Copies of this chain bind each other. A is one copy, B any other.
Amino acid sequence: MTLADLPTPCLVLDRPKVAANCARMAARAGVLGVRLRPHLKTAKSAEVGRLAHGGEPGPITVSTLREAEHFLDRGFCDITYAVGITPDKLDRAAALTARGADLTVLTDEPAAAKALAGHGAPFKVLVEVDCGGGRGGVDPGGEALLAVAAPLGAAGILAGVLTHAGQSYRCRAPGEIAAVAEVERAAVTAAAARLRAAGHACPVVSVGSTPTALFAESLDGVTEMRPGVYTLMDLYQASIGVCAVADIAVSVLATVIHHRDDAILVDAGGLALSMDRSTAKGPRDYGLGLACALDGTPEDGLVVAATNQEHGFLRAAAGPPPFGRFPVGSRLRILPNHACMTAAAHDHYHVIDGGTRVMARWERCNGW
């Protein structure tokens, strides 16, 4: 079977590119002297999780309890669930530990910390620290850090600290990213030092984002990193210099359904591509995705300018789009702005071996 035989729209994964992205990050973890705990919220695939660890299950990060269940069923036992847990989710998380998971959860709220401490399940708990990303997390220098840690330490379930430098996505050059990586490292190691000074053990000091993992100059004091999007890469990462467009391993296969005066209409719309417009905020705007020929060669400037639910509008940077190369019924591939969002619109990958031959189907674990 080849890409010409698949029903469209569908999700295509280039295995050699995934393997190369994984090898690059594994080498980085080696150089930096930290454990690699890939965040599988992007790929949501056990096969990709194994590629990230050289072919075997290894430590992973997940964003939903459903992912934790999915990966445990497939041999991944060392799992960090990296969204602040709430009391209503504790029983479901505890069921994972009863099935053998070595489960780490995180919190930044005293109420949740008390609920974790009182639950009785053998959780390991990280205190989430905000290093400037402005999502979850306590101030590494504030009182809340110790307030959250206290009940966890008393219950013997405090495992350490974790942060995520989400602000690295706003960088525009490797030097800027390296500076953010140092902010991330400094915040989480400062938090770890305060916990230790308060008498707590703090074996885990965890950072993570694909840009900072690739451009950090030192991770002294850090024990692990949790990059995620690197396994697939996307146009946003390419636009900020974290990868080349040629490194993007995931694309949406589409069929041309109509020619308009100024646009080629394809059968991949807002549902198949997602509505993520992240490159609008970056140094290069790719609309809702960049078109490529069936063999993966990018069509310079031919982007998805607009979508309806099941229609995508391809327009050229200037002048008419290349109608002649893409007649009605022909096929092309669309690289995503944001791999996490686009891939989540599909429940499986059609895996290719670099060309157009389809060698496997890999399931994804969507939902909650």
Q: State the A residues within 8 Å of B (CB).
A: 7-10, 41, 63-65, 83-89, 92, 108-109, 111-112, 115, 134-136, 166, 255-260, 265, 267, 270-272, 274-277, 308-311, 327-329, 340-341, 344-347, 366-368
Contacts and interface: CB of A to CB of B under 8 A. Distances in A.
A336 to B, nearest CB: 12
Contacts of A347: 366-367
Nearest to A347: B367
Nearest to A255: B86
Contacts of A329: 86-88, 111-112, 115
A270 B135 CA distance: 14
Nearest to A166: B308
Contact of A308 (B135, B267, B270, B308): B135
Contact of A275 (B85, B87, B275): B275
Q: Number of copies of this chain in the oligomer?
A: 2
A265 B135 CA distance: 8
Nearest to A63: B310
A206 B34 CA distance: 62
Contacts of A7: 65, 88-89, 92, 368
Nearest to A271: B344
Contact of A346 (B88, B111, B135, B367): B367
Contacts of A327: 111
A63 B269 CA distance: 11
A214 to B, nearest CB: 20
Closest 6 pairs between A and B when the two form their complex, measured CB to CB: A275-B275, A84-B257, A109-B328, A63-B310, A275-B276, A136-B258
